[in-house]
Structure 1
Amino acid sequence: MSTAILTGQPVPGSPLEGDLRSLGFDVRVASDAADAESLLAAVPADQRVAVVDARFVGHVHALRLGLTDPRFAASAVPGAVAAKPGARTELTRALRTTAATTGGVVTHDALPDDIAAAMESGATDVHRPDLGTLVATVPDDPQARNEARQAVAAVDDEAVRLRTAVKSRDGFFTTYCISPYSRYIARWCARRGLTPNQVTTASLLTALIAAGCAATGTRGGFVAAGVLLLLSFVLDCTDGQLARYSLQYSTLGAWLDATFDRAKEYAYYAGLALGAANANSDDVWALALGAMVLQTCRHVVDFSFNEANHDATANTSPTAALSDKLDSVGWTVWVRRMIVLPIGERWAMIAVLTAVTTPRITLVVLIIGCALAACYTTAGRVLRSLTRKATRTDRAAQALSDLADNGTLASSFTALGRRGRFLPAPVLAFVGGAAIVAVAAFTSYGSPWVVVAAVVYVVLSGLALARPLKAPLDWLVPPFFRAAEYGTVLVLAAKADVNGALPAAFGLVSAVAYHHYDTVYRIKGGAGAPPRRLVRAIGGQEGRTLVVALAATLLSTTDFTVALTALAVAVALVVLVESIRFWVAAEKKGAPAVHDEGEPA
């Protein structure tokens, strides 16, 4: 239970106390600032507390946004301020400062506004939500109060709440084909006490059932799979809208939502591969793995570019200016969003193709579409980077280094590389990655040259990180490493040409990709990268690449399949145990939740 302390003389007929109770607050009334401080001290230290002016007039949703959002330690709207347990000390200090200024008597000015201002002057970050058309004010006289009440009556609080439950930036398919009704599903869930995490789990289960239907290899199974995949996406949109509608944000929920999105899509790829084999013995595992590799590399490009420029200074370029100008023309916004094939358009395409064509056609079209989207987005970001006069920070350089995922072997060469001058980091990463993938592709299975190329790759991986990654194109280093590691596993498994090798490779890349996505979500959440002991335990990206190359050279094709399976299981167990432990602990500690407000590719 949270506590709200009303300050000042209560206004007859005001619905304020009832509104606060509907938001879960235990309401107490203070006659002056000194009394408010006494009531504040009596509130248990583990509870959220709000100080609200008794003269407040406004929408209930304005109070909800200003007083109950779990993402912020302190927040305020005109006439009300709230603090979570972590900011209670600052709130108490600000209240004492205000009480000393006013002599312990509530003045005609709003006391909560004075408290919020005092907290901000003390370097406390007080979140002030954008209320839009919602009303939140403290009228000084009966006429102003009457005008404020009329303004409240003129705006439909619930309509605003439903509208703002939808992401501020979404794809065309999501905006026009899903959100018009999924927001009402979110409200239905909220009124029945369902949580976003429960809806997220339902979305995952629906997608897994869809993958199972696709795996049957029958036309009925393929049609059912397409329908269920779309239903899973509706639920995927609903969970975020439910979180925004009811402000049920959580650290664990943000992680589950992001992680399950990847798990659903990649499990569906596996279902298509199994379905093709069951339908007509068509082996499309290489296509399924290729689609996963391409999609994961696209995401790494997005994450690396954004992290490199997250807090860069002088972060402008002619290319960015042209992009902003194009966005000012309505139809170009939707065309540009559709070109990048975001999750809504991508899942809709997969669902339709699954229902009416074959798994092979579905995966081929998916790979072509994702490849074109990757070329478009990467080319644009390269142009922006080359024309942008930006100074990147140490934090950005560290984030890129963490995303690189170098292990012990590469790190030893990183130390040596600091003593000399070498080619730019992206060139080293590209040359090393291209060498190992090309040698694996153009030599026979078991060739020792693959190991030689892997050793060269280890050396170049270390040298690429010899200097802080602050150059314009250094954000390309992590994507090059991902393409090299995943591509090597894919090519060597295909070269083995034995039953089970590609499914085992699919499992290994899935486990490693989970680790890389988990790294991204920790960095985005401000928690930093996974501990170095975890990276060392699973070998680092260059160590795993070398191990796979050695296995392909020294083992028979059958034993190579077993080795890939064992490595996949080992990596999955280590990263899952550590990841789940971390996120559960972060949830218990009340770490801030990071929810994406734009649709990822």
Structure 2
Amino acid sequence: MSRAVILPADGGTIEPTTSDTTVLDRLIGQFREAGCDDVTVLTRPGTDLTVKADQIESADAAADVEHLRRLAYDTPGAVFLAYADLVASQTTVATVLADSSRRSGVLVGADDPAAAPVGVERGLVTGPGPGPARLGGLAKISAAHLARLRRHWPTEPQGDAFETVLASLQARAVPVTAYRTAGLAHRRARTAEDAERTIAEFEAVDLDRWRMRNAVKRDDDLFATYCVSSWSPKLVRPAAALGLSPTTITWISIAFAGAAAAIFATGSSEPMFGAAGPTVPWWYLLAAALMYFSFVLDCVDGQLARYTQNFSAFGGWLDMMADRGKEYAIYAGLAAGAALDNPSTAAWGLAIAAMTVQTVRHTADTWYAVLLDTAVIRQARQRETAPPAGRAAHLGRRLGSASEQVMGAHRSFLYWAKRTVVAGVGDRWIVLAATAVAFGPRLALTVLLAWQLLALVYTGAGRTLRTFAARTAALRRPDRAAHRDDGPLARLMPANRNRLSHVPIVATALAVAAAFLAVWQAATGATAISLAVALAAIGIGLAAARSDHDGIFDWLVPAGLRAVELGVITAAGLTAEVAWPVLFALLAVVALYFYDLAAGLDKAASPVERRDLALGWPARGLIAVAAAAASLPTGPFLATAVFAGLAAYVAATFIGAILVGARRAATA
């Protein structure tokens, strides 16, 4: 549920000659058409308005702020704030109202010289600025951010109520997204001529073509850009005509990927370029085709959502989770197929390693984005007491500048080289499909793992240096325990009582090293040593759970802890000789659970609200180690059963939390 509050503005009573309604009536109708029926208009004393919305008389800006506070907390959900004199197209209004995530944002443009200029960096509004971006007169304050403002609601207006609320969000370091509809005019009308000119400008635009053009991502992977997005928009209009939702397209994409994984799992002893000469395993060609069309549909669902402006929090979350779930299923299918062809193959180990590296990489990518966004907000608020100093900071700034220049040279050779080296999802899928058909599943997984490791080293090196220039403690936040996923065991740890507790990044690095050593020892047969080192990894990783996390490199802690748990479970599984499919299933469930944590930051759309029932990574690691130790004298059956049970339990609590969260969001 959401509510719209329209603030007083003289231009709201203007009635353009091209319309039989006032600017305000028109705006109220646009809110209702976009799905927001709860509309309240604040009016000044003595104003006689006849509108189809609730009206509240408000004396001045201070009264506006107070009325807005009451309205915002009377009804759960987001609040949309607009000026009564805003003239915009229905598409522009719907762009803001269709955002069902936990983000807050404000409409910005560049064609209203009378509007207040604002600074925009990394897609975030950072506060008053020189322009050319200007406030568009429409904002969204999400329910999550209203909760953060509850105890800090402004008592003194800073300008009007619109500007006061934005200033309060920025004072609390809340990221405010800049909504843009480039090419569609929107302005606050001061005169009838202003309103008529704005309406004429956006009505002259072919909105169908505009929506289709803006439905396709401008910046995507090399493969997606030239081999998918070059023709996938042709599927969007038919899908819209058939009434298919983006979520339906996502489910079809999942089915295609599942079918491809099942085909790969049947095995193939006939690689295209084998020793006996070239052959074509047609069932692998079919699997590769299914992978391709699964990826095409994965692009189409987002394009359809943007074209129809049919967004939902669950749909966006499902799209993100489906990306990883499909990929992990393909890994498992390739590993199973390779194991059928050659029982001694290490394909399952390659699949686990690829999944681990991918999970760690994505977590690091997500928190690096948080680091940059936090740096943008804090530096805009002038929290930094001194500019970054030292050679590392200087090099970090130069790397950042060079990266921006390369990405600014759109579709140049260096642009594509930079985008390709990081192994984007589209590029990964085509490489997996092509190498599986040409050389078999084991080599496909080997190539994928090597590429992912290269990408990890490349991005890690550059981002480490750029961190010196950012100088921001991204993980120093109230919800850090949730993102660490320490669970109930963290409460047993004393705060700041040991040397490692003051340096969480050092503790995490040592824990990662110990987890890697545990896996190495397990792979070489040193079972007792492996389990002991795995226990040490858990203890070291947990040592800094209750620290402040105020170091500039602490953004790497969540990724490191993901590596620790996946490494500990792998070491325990190898030690106890747990069946490969069961070990992979447990790791995949945990990886998807971690991915949901990242999705909550990346898209602000995770429906999961409670995570305590999943036990936390240290407890899950301890259960795996204990099961492995108990199985040493008796054989792998006990550990395999415990691993399967743990996977089922985490999956059940995860799915249960998803269903509860989605139902609560639907009824809010």
The partner residue of 1:311 within 352, 368, 374 is: 374
Aligned 8 A contact 2:260 2:287 in 1: yes
Instruction: Give the structure 2 partner of residue 41 of structure 1.
Output: 54
Question: Is 1:373 the equivalent of 2:455?
Answer: yes
Change in Cα spacing, 1:511 to 1:326, as seen in structure 2 (3 Å) is same
Instruction: Give the structure 2 partner of residue 339 of structure 1.
Output: 421
SS at match of 1:455: helix
Instruction: Give the structure 2 partner of residue 300 of structure 1.
Output: 363
The partner residue of 1:326 within 397, 401, 406 is: 406
The partner residue of 1:490 within 570, 573, 578 is: 570
Change in Cα spacing, 1:212 to 1:54, as seen in structure 2 (3 Å) is same
CA–CA distance in 2 between the matches of 1:481 and 1:84? 34
Question: Is 1:354 the equivalent of 2:416?
Answer: no
The partner residue of 1:433 within 491, 512, 520 is: 512
Offset at residue 541 of structure 1 (A)? 5.1
CA–CA distance in 2 between the matches of 1:529 and 1:279? 40
Aligned 8 A contact 1:406 1:542 in 2: no
Letter in 1 for 2:296: V
Offset at residue 286 of structure 1 (A)? 1.6
The partner residue of 1:290 within 346, 353, 362 is: 353
Describe how 1:175-186 pairs up with structure 2 within 5 A: 175-186=225-236
Question: Is 1:507 the equivalent of 2:520?
Answer: no
SS at match of 2:229: helix
Instruction: Give the structure 2 partner of residue 226 of structure 1.
Output: 288
The TM-score, its normalising length taken from structure 1, stands at 0.78
Describe how 1:178-197 pairs up with structure 2 within 5 A: 178-197=228-247
Question: Is 1:271 the equivalent of 2:351?
Answer: no
Instruction: Give the structure 1 partner of residue 95 of structure 2.
Output: 65
Describe how 1:417-496 pairs up with structure 2 within 5 A: 417-418=496-497, 420=499, 424-442=503-521, 445=525, 447-496=527-576
Query: Which segment is superposed worse, 459-468 or 61-70?
Result: 61-70
CA–CA distance in 1 between the matches of 2:179 and 2:366? 27
Offset at residue 265 of structure 1 (A)? 0.5
Aligned 8 A contact 2:16 2:195 in 1: no
Offset at residue 229 of structure 1 (A)? 0.8
Aligned 8 A contact 1:204 1:260 in 2: yes
Offset at residue 362 of structure 1 (A)? 0.8
The TM-score, its normalising length taken from structure 2, stands at 0.71
Aligned 8 A contact 2:576 2:632 in 1: no
Change in Cα spacing, 1:544 to 1:377, as seen in structure 2 (3 Å) is farther
Change in Cα spacing, 1:558 to 1:437, as seen in structure 2 (3 Å) is farther
CA–CA distance in 1 between the matches of 2:312 and 2:586? 30
Change in Cα spacing, 1:569 to 1:118, as seen in structure 2 (3 Å) is closer
Instruction: Give the structure 1 partner of residue 255 of structure 2.
Output: 205
Task: Could you tell me which runs of 5 or more consecutive residues in structure 1 were left unpaired when the two chains were aligned.
Answer: 91-115, 590-601
Select the structure that is richer in helix.
1
Instruction: Give the structure 2 partner of residue 533 of structure 1.
Output: 612
Describe how 1:137-152 pairs up with structure 2 within 5 A: 137=187, 151-152=201-202
Letter in 2 for 1:581: V
Per-residue CA deviations over 1:300-345 (Å, capped at 9, x if unaligned) read 2212333344413348742323322333444222211111011111
CA–CA distance in 2 between the matches of 1:221 and 1:534? 42
Per-residue CA deviations over 1:54-103 (Å, capped at 9, x if unaligned) read 995x655345436655558897788997799999xx9xxxxxxxxxxxxx
SS at match of 1:388: helix
Query: Which segment is superposed worse, 13-22 or 253-262?
Result: 13-22
Change in Cα spacing, 1:41 to 1:487, as seen in structure 2 (3 Å) is same
Query: Which segment is superposed worse, 300-309 or 140-149?
Result: 140-149
Aligned 8 A contact 1:223 1:354 in 2: no
Per-residue CA deviations over 1:389-409 (Å, capped at 9, x if unaligned) read 52426x644555433322444
Query: Which segment is superposed worse, 197-206 or 8-17?
Result: 8-17
Offset at residue 232 of structure 1 (A)? 0.8
SS at match of 2:180: coil
Instruction: Give the structure 2 partner of residue 594 of structure 1.
Output: none
Offset at residue 197 of structure 1 (A)? 1.2
Aligned 8 A contact 1:436 1:488 in 2: yes
Question: Is 1:577 the equivalent of 2:656?
Answer: yes
The partner residue of 2:264 within 208, 214, 231 is: 214
Instruction: Give the structure 1 partner of residue 302 of structure 2.
Output: 240
SS at match of 2:548: coil
The alignment-based identity, stated in percent, is: 28
Query: Which segment is superposed worse, 466-475 or 357-366?
Result: 466-475
Offset at residue 149 of structure 1 (A)? 6.6
Offset at residue 376 of structure 1 (A)? 0.5
Aligned 8 A contact 2:107 2:180 in 1: no
Task: Could you tell me which runs of 5 or more consecutive residues in structure 2 were left unpaired when the two chains were aligned.
Answer: 57-74, 116-135, 147-158, 170-175, 269-280, 389-395
Aligned 8 A contact 1:259 1:517 in 2: yes
CA–CA distance in 1 between the matches of 2:463 and 2:332? 31
Aligned 8 A contact 1:7 1:53 in 2: yes
Offset at residue 236 of structure 1 (A)? 0.9
Change in Cα spacing, 1:342 to 1:147, as seen in structure 2 (3 Å) is same
Aligned 8 A contact 1:425 1:474 in 2: yes
Letter in 2 for 1:196: P
Per-residue CA deviations over 1:462-504 (Å, capped at 9, x if unaligned) read 223352222122223332322232223334434555xx61111
The partner residue of 2:639 within 545, 552, 560 is: 560
SS at match of 1:39: coil
Offset at residue 529 of structure 1 (A)? 8.1
Per-residue CA deviations over 1:493-544 (Å, capped at 9, x if unaligned) read 34555xx611111011012112212222234528798546324377545434
SS at match of 1:132: coil
Aligned 8 A contact 1:486 1:509 in 2: yes
Letter in 1 for 2:212: L
Offset at residue 239 of structure 1 (A)? 1.2
SS at match of 1:341: coil
